[in-house]
Chain A
Amino acid sequence: MDDAAPLILARHLTKRFGAFTAVDGVDFEVAPGEAFGFLGPNGAGKTSTMRMIGCTSPISDGELTILGMDPRRQGADIRARLGVVPQHDTLDNELTVRENLIIYGRYFGLPRAECQRRADELLEFVQLSDRGKDLVEPLSGGMKRRLTIARSLINEPDVMLLDEPTTGLDPQARHLVWDRLYRLKQRGVTLVLTTHYMDEAEQLCDRLVVMDKAKIVAEGSPRQLIERYSTKEVAEFRFPAGVQETLDGQFDGLGDRIERLPDRVLAYADDGEAVVIAARDRGLHPETVLVRRSTLEDVFLRLTGRSLIE
């Protein structure tokens, strides 16, 4: 395959379950070596899209090409070159950490000796070498996640599919996972991931699409999306309970745009400090004020009117 051709190409990709449409005619492409993200709240259609790419869920409509192959006819050939990290760990609790890797390699038809060699290498890579002989069950959530990532690499995949790779992990464990994924990216592995964490998307993704209600609502790099759909800065105002409801109209004209959330008011402007001063001049007395840079969370709020994590 020549370098310019996308590794994954979706045109009007659709997934229906009976009357319910989980993915509604989405278009996207993923280039070789890219880290590509699907950002969206639960139920947006991210996992269904990942399953179709992973060739474990037939597409209902549209076109999907993965590594130049058709998932309808070449599912097994495609899967042989993918590394899948599912949303929930699917490790074999009856086997040791190392055996989990070896057996998984055998599913790809790799010789046993090769599986053993790769297993040791991968345990090293995810910093689990000292746990190789332990059973899976006593491992922490972060360790299991790293083992799942190691397992997905046993066939030296061209593309990794990561469905919410760090959901449910504590901050330290998340950073360790991100670090490993970043190293893989540097080695040229294409990463496709879903997340509902904006910081994860910002950390890992070169480019992402925002999904909401089965559709793609925006596409770009994290930086581009923020520039396009948000301002440089955001001023957050929090008011004492009951006060915010009485402030109708009083924010009008502050900054470029105002978002009123149940617990705070966001004023979008390139100069957040200026907005804070202007608000004070209007006689508004918030309990706390915070000026920060715009994030993907703000992009999502702008595009959908809702927060990412509800």
Chain B
Amino acid sequence: MQYRRTFRASLFGSFGIPALFLTAMGLGLGGYVDRSADAVLQGVSYLQFLAPGLLASSVMQTGSFEATFPILGGLQWNKIFHAMVATPLRARDVAIGNILWIALRLTLVGSIFALVIVAFGASRSPLIVLAVPVAVLTGLAFATPIMAFTATQRTPDRFAALFRFGTTPLFLFSGTFFPIESLPSFLQPVAWLSPLWHGVAVCRALMLGTIGNEPVLAVIHIGILAAIATVGAVLAVRTIDGRLVKG
């Protein structure tokens, strides 16, 4: 798996942003919410409510991004993936290597985010340690299908639409900033279609220490995320292979 080293250069790119996000949203906005909404959140401070949502969604956004431009770059712009398959590496190795790289990067982003959350006192449970891999899985459930999509594209034109109509609405309406129970009742089942909601729900249960209340539901959530990530990975391997190996 030596080829992951290629990407070393971008490793130290985006460390501080998640922390800044939490500071601004959690403390700034949370200060207002807590004064009025104690009843809604059942004794949980807004910062504590928000933190798992931000953890899962920021990992999700990193995963989505990493599956678009860097992948298209390797396939289309600097074509380094084409250079890789001229060596004993196969297209499959390139695809899997990229997925592993994204997983590594998401682990890094998620861990740092978790550290900041702990520093803010925004997690009620030490099980936040388990929330990080759940967030990573959430990120992969986005990254792998998006990577499969990216491998069918020649220009980044459709990425804007993907973010505008895909990841951004999910970011806003997957229980990140408010419980989905606040949505109109007909919209609530839609949350089930959002991989992010599954991730947020489990992260939140872990960090609030309520995971024991509905363990079966948590397993279902994780199962759905794992299924999406796996199907996405299979598709990504297939589309990248189709792109790198001619006809």
Chain A interface residues (CB < 8 Å from chain B): 15-17, 48, 51, 54, 56-58, 60, 75-77, 79-80, 82, 84, 86, 88, 90-95, 103-104, 106-109, 151, 155
Contact = CB atoms under 8 A, between A and B. Distances in A.
B78 A92 contact: yes
A116 to B, nearest CB: 13
Given A82-B86, A104-B87, A95 B247 contact: no
A45 B85 CA distance: 21
Contacts of B9: 94-95
A90 B80 contact: yes
Contacts of B88: 76-77, 79-80, 107-109
20 contacts: A56-B82, A56-B244, A57-B246, A76-B88, A76-B89, A76-B90, A80-B87, A80-B88, A88-B79, A93-B78, A95-B6, A103-B2, A104-B83, A104-B87, A106-B2, A106-B5, A107-B3, A107-B84, A107-B87, A155-B87
Nearest to A84: B86
A15 B246 CA distance: 10
Interface residues of B, number: 22
Contacts of B5: 103, 106
B10 interface: yes
B245 interface: yes
A57 B247 contact: yes
Interface string B1-21: 011011001100000000000
Contacts of A79: 86-88
B90 A75 contact: yes
Contacts of B247: 15-17, 57-58, 60
B236 to A, nearest CB: 19
Given A86-B79, A91-B80, A103-B5, 12 more contacts: A56-B86, A58-B247, A77-B88, A80-B88, A86-B86, A88-B79, A90-B83, A91-B78, A93-B78, A103-B3, A104-B83, A107-B87
Given A86-B83, A108-B88, A103 B246 contact: no
